[in-house]
Structure 1
Amino acid sequence: MRFPATVPVIAALALTAAACTSGATTSAEPRKARPITPVAGCGAGSWTDPADLAQDRKPARCEKGMPAARPLARKTKITVASSTGSAEFVAPVKLGIANGEFGKENLEVEFKQLGVADSIPLLAKGEVDAIWSAPEAAFFNGIDQGFELRWVLGNFAPGAGSKSGLWARVPQGTAPDALKFGDGTPVGTLIGKGSVIMYPMREVLRKHGTDLKKVRFTGLGGPADVVTALDNGGVKAAWVVDPLWKQLDGKPGMAFLGGQPHGEPLGGMIYGPSMLRENPDAGVAFVRALIRIYNTYFTGDYKKDPAFVKQLSSVLGLKSEILNAVPSSQWDWEIRKDTVERLQQAFIEGGALGKAVPESEAVDRTLYAEAVGHKP
């Protein structure tokens, strides 16, 4: 999984609290329903049952190049923030800017690099229109404060063969499935307890006899330190991201225990009041462009196309060999039912969240439903 490290939750809470006194928009009034009409090129396959969590579920798809652009009457500038501009998970946004996909909707998209803790208060105040990130603990804490924030579009799930996830040292003669973690087991991490990674980590740890409250998380300085800490025994397990797990794959004494669930995106686009309420036409247009990008550029094993990998390399500032080192992801704009509930359970167990908010206050599927012409 390619989500970047998050800042400590305490900082996120402090910034969120500060936004309470700075004119942030709250969600006291429900959004008005918008009409949904059929969209050419987006048939029955452009929507799947949100409750379907099958590992082999095929993502929703429209025809290539669809849904067609419906340019806004006036050119509209929007600002989208993300914590990095060079990781593969941000590729649809960066590629959309480079290839003029947003321009087709009469949108001018400004990309800003901001950490999650910095961008959540700005989003709530309307100073940033959207965040390309994940519904982390700071997101739910913001909603609990009354801010109008919604997860409106999914991003990806790991592709077949991906081993981004929890890796562990396994004693000789012990099968990985039989490995048990005792209380206080040191687990290396680059992420805070407020990251969405806590959800899949929680599920993997449960299978090995422990949970987020019982293990002892050890902060590591950087991505390369994860592999070093596992090698020298400084930690028993660690979450290893793309493409670093390639250094451990097949190495004696190392085992992949599990990662992000296939078929369940854990991030994507988060909107604030400016796109949800003040200019919903722009909100739908931006979602529509991103869905078109998925359908056009990120279907199947897109990394088999050397020319496309070369373009991604240029857009992201990453070497082609880094992109080719890991499998193509499965890009998926839909948000699964109860994903936010599972995320919040992990945050509460890990101590990053005090209480859960209902899915209806955290997720809005109506924008992508309108973009593909599906009436739920």
Structure 2
Amino acid sequence: MKRRGNRAYGGVLAYGGVLIAVTLLASAACSSPYESAPSKAAAGHRTIRPVEGCGAKSWTDPKDLSPSRTPARCLPGAPPPQPLPEPRKLTIATGTLSAEYVAPLQVALDKGEFEKEGLDVELKVLPTPDALPLLAKGDIDALWAAPEAAVMNGIKGGFDIKWVAGNFSPDPKSKSGLWVRLSEGESANRVTMAGRKLGTMIGKGSVIAYPMEKALEKHGGGLAEIQYQQLGSADVLTALQNGGVDSAWLLDPVWRKVDGKPGYTFLGGQPPGEPLGGLLYGRTLLQDDVDAGVALLRAHIRTVNTYFASDYKQDASFVTYLAELLKAEEPILKSSPPLRMDWEIRAGTTTRLQSAYAAQGVAEGSPLPESRTVNRALYAEAVGHAP
């Protein structure tokens, strides 16, 4: 699926053309331009220089787990493009093209942000279990997903895969997360979760195991006591509504369709300030063509800074544009709070995830250290942050 274009909508126009040029030139006065020649050096052995438009706020301490942490940000239009010497075709696999958390990829493609870097990007819909071996072999270049149990087990089995960028954390007002159909006699304050059937896109071994574990502690059930029903992204809500499952993990903005309706209750969601997914790279972009890997992240980060830096839903015309792009219902998209798009990865997230996978009985062997699962060097280079 490919889209290109230069359409602008509402307030997004303010980020284009002359204004970006002015703000970037102003920032250049206090930081050196990114002037190094492209290098094939592997990540970790590359020269990092300051980047126009990306200053101190373009990096936050990974150890900061505060729910109120402000996500890293550069100026709109930054980091500026650094086109590759030769065009590069990349394929990114994703489980869905319609969820709101995929919006930065869709917008980057539609607005030509990848193209500015010399990248010809294709988005391909593939479930994570199907995409992993293709990523490890280099048949696809990146995966927009999460460090699921299958990813951790694949790394233990020899796959050269790492989590290289985050995606989002929920707004504090969001109710994206675990929803339950109440049984007769149950109240929202006390739900018996043991034995419930849960509808989810991934099934057992999903990153939602981590926040679910916290929610289940309050409602008489553990991760090993839940029945998991793997469903397509479009089927999770339908199954909850028609009784095919009696609980489900609902994403933004889908949960709005049951919010406030009798018989449904929200038990808990993703921890604020902590992304649980994003971009995964295999050997191709981690080792063989790091320039392309950094360029892809640069385009993604620039898209976040230009279109998703704050409350992007305040711009009605941009919401209309997003609804069209995601093939989503505009009233539902508009009614949920914006995602906090966040390209950074918090310290210890994969450790906490693996603990939850072990509780589900889907983790193989000993837990992996973060050095085997996470690489922050590429997004650090994209924003000019030197350790």
Q: Does structure 1 residue 293 correspond to structure 2 residue 307?
A: no
Counterpart among 201, 213, 225 of residue 202 in structure 1:
213
Q: Does structure 1 residue 145 correspond to structure 2 residue 148?
A: no
Q: Which residue of 2 aligns with 1:161?
A: 173
1:1-376 residue pairs with structure 2 within 5 A? 32-168=44-180, 176-177=188-189, 179=190, 181=192, 184-191=194-201, 192-217=203-228, 222-223=235-236, 224-229=238-243, 235=246, 237-355=247-365, 356-376=367-387
2:91 is paired with a residue of what secondary structure? strand
2:164 is paired with a residue of what secondary structure? strand
Q: Percent identity?
A: 49
Q: How far 1:371 moved relative to its partner?
A: 0.7
Where has structure 1 moved over 6 Å in runs of 4 or more? 171-175
CA contact (8 A) 2:69 2:273 kept: yes
Mark the runs of 5 or more structure 1 residues left unpaired by the alignment.
Answer: 1-29
More off after superposition, 218-227 vs 192-201: 218-227
The aligned amino acid for 1:144 is K
Distance in 1 of aligned mates of 2:123 and 2:46: 28
More off after superposition, 296-305 vs 244-253: 244-253
Q: Deviations over 1:161-191 (max 9, x none)?
A: 21111233568998745x2637x43242234
The aligned amino acid for 1:358 is P
Q: How far 1:217 moved relative to its partner?
A: 4.3
Q: How far 1:317 moved relative to its partner?
A: 2.4
Q: CA RMSD in A?
A: 2.3
Provide TM-score, normalisation by structure 1: 0.84
2:61 is paired with a residue of what secondary structure? coil
Q: How far 1:365 moved relative to its partner?
A: 0.2
CA contact (8 A) 1:155 1:332 kept: yes
Distance in 1 of aligned mates of 2:181 and 2:369: 38
CA contact (8 A) 2:275 2:345 kept: yes
Provide TM-score, normalisation by structure 2: 0.82
Distance in 2 of aligned mates of 1:225 and 1:103: 39
Q: How far 1:82 moved relative to its partner?
A: 1.0
2:267 is paired with a residue of what secondary structure? strand
CA contact (8 A) 1:220 1:226 kept: no
Q: How far 1:290 moved relative to its partner?
A: 0.5
User: What count of residue pairs does the alignment treat as equivalent?
Assistant: 341
The aligned amino acid for 2:361 is G
Q: How far 1:139 moved relative to its partner?
A: 0.9
The aligned amino acid for 1:229 is G
2:159 is paired with a residue of what secondary structure? coil
Distance in 1 of aligned mates of 2:180 and 2:330: 29
Distance in 1 of aligned mates of 2:320 and 2:263: 36
Give the 3 Å change call, closer, same or farther, for CA 180–250 of structure 1 in structure 2: closer
Distance in 2 of aligned mates of 1:171 and 1:193: 23
Q: How far 1:133 moved relative to its partner?
A: 1.1
1:48 is paired with a residue of what secondary structure? coil
Distance in 1 of aligned mates of 2:154 and 2:230: 25
Distance in 2 of aligned mates of 1:312 and 1:288: 21
More off after superposition, 341-350 vs 207-216: 207-216
Distance in 2 of aligned mates of 1:126 and 1:195: 23
Distance in 2 of aligned mates of 1:248 and 1:306: 23
The aligned amino acid for 1:282 is A
Distance in 2 of aligned mates of 1:323 and 1:268: 21
The aligned amino acid for 1:314 is E
